[in-house]
Amino acid sequence: MAYIGIEQVSKSFQTEKGARHVLDAVNLAVEEGEFVSVVGYSGSGKSTLLALAAGLIAPDSGRVRLGGRASVVFQNYSLLPWFSALENVRLAVESEFPGWDLKRQKEQAIRFLDMVGLGAALEKRPSQLSGGMRQRVAIARAFASEPQILLLDEPFGALDALSRGNLQQELIRMCSAAGRAVTALMITNSVEEAILLSDRIVPLTRAPRATLGPSISVPLPKPRKPEQLLHDPDAIRTQAKVVEFLTGFEHSAAVRAPGGPRSAAFLPSAGHSREAVRMEAES
């Protein structure tokens, strides 16, 4: 049985213009310890899919099953602004391990903040941290709760290229250093990011009535470096498969629809999952 199971899931939203059918008969199985990325255009339903997996919204039909405790990392950090970095992480630890005393909770929080290079910023509030540092706090908070499942809602999409690259490597390191199998489901509109992090990539067609395409394995040993993606034949072939599916599907859909073909560019998506879901429904 899959560790994350999404079975025949459909989802629509009511808008001023009527029902907006976002996802249709989506099926996805993620095995324990596997890192799977769903790649698609902005507004295609990726955030809706992750919100369904996280239990933030309910499907119209079908079902979602998780085999363990899950933590979610959003793009916009979702930190409590009146608490320090340490308290933001400690509160997550307390929620997951209410039987631990305060000293043990703080030790757990400090350990994971140290792992993301924030040992010197424990008492700083989010407003005193850069965007990259705030996202490091969010990642430390997710790992400090020791989840079996990590749900990633475009966690690096709002960052500059240097911060994004550094945090991608941090995520790779933390997954390998967790000492246990961490199962991850990430949504992204970056094919390169998906190849860098994933065991398998699944493309998502455009909404309305978006659905998942065929799984594409990433046959590269881990850990991976960004420079590999430029020269490794397997990386180049994997990228070509993903892009060819998305642009091929896009072309065939445009031929069927009035108005001609649409752009195949990958664009940044909205931030927080709930807001992104709303924008997907209204687009």
Domain boundaries in the chain?
4-67+152-158+192-282
Please determine, for residue 180, whether its predicted confidence score (pLDDT) is greater than 70.
no
Paired strand residues for 202: 38
The angle that helices 273-282 and 46-54 make with each other, rounded to 10 degrees, is 130
Question: Which residue has better confidence, 38 or 264?
Answer: 38
Distant-in-sequence, close-in-space partners of 162: CB < 8 Å, separation ≥ 6 = none
The CA distances from residue 211 to 113, 118, 123, 190, 207, in Å, are 38, 40, 44, 18, 8
Question: Which residue has better confidence, 281 or 237?
Answer: 237
Distance CA 26, CA 30 (A): 13
Element of type H or E holding 12: strand 4-15
| pTM listed for this prediction | 0.81
Q: What is the mean pLDDT of residues 79-101?
A: 93
Share of the chain above pLDDT 70, in %: 84
Distance CA 28, CA 9 (A): 9
Q: Give me the pLDDT at residue 195, please.
A: 94
Please determine, for residue 262, whether its predicted confidence score (pLDDT) is greater than 70.
no
Paired strand residues for 28: 6
Verify cis geometry, omega within 30 degrees of 0, for the bond prior to 223.
Answer: yes
Distance CA 148, CA 123 (A): 28
Question: Which residue has better confidence, 182 or 205?
Answer: 205
Q: What is the mean pLDDT of residues 88-106?
A: 94
Q: Give me the pLDDT at residue 57, please.
A: 92
Please determine, for residue 52, whether its predicted confidence score (pLDDT) is greater than 60.
yes
Q: Give me the pLDDT at residue 250, please.
A: 54
Q: Give me the pLDDT at residue 257, please.
A: 47
Q: What is the mean pLDDT of residues 28-39?
A: 93
Output the CA torsion sign for 173, 174, 175, 177: positive
Read off the pLDDT band of 249 (50, 70, 90).
low
Please determine, for residue 101, whether its predicted confidence score (pLDDT) is greater than 90.
yes
Share of the chain above pLDDT 90, in %: 44
Q: Give me the pLDDT at residue 274, please.
A: 47
Other beta carbons within 10 Å of 269: 23
Q: What is the mean pLDDT of residues 225-243?
A: 90
Q: Give me the pLDDT at residue 90, please.
A: 95
Architecture of domain 4-67+152-158+192-282: 3-Layer(aba) Sandwich (3.40)
Q: Give me the pLDDT at residue 277, please.
A: 54
Please determine, for residue 27, whether its predicted confidence score (pLDDT) is greater than 90.
yes
Q: Give me the pLDDT at residue 169, please.
A: 81
Tell me which of 89-98, 105-114, 133-142 is least confident: 133-142
Question: Which residue has better confidence, 131 or 194?
Answer: 194
Read off the pLDDT band of 179 (50, 70, 90).
low
Helix (H, G, I), strand (E, B) or coil at 271: coil
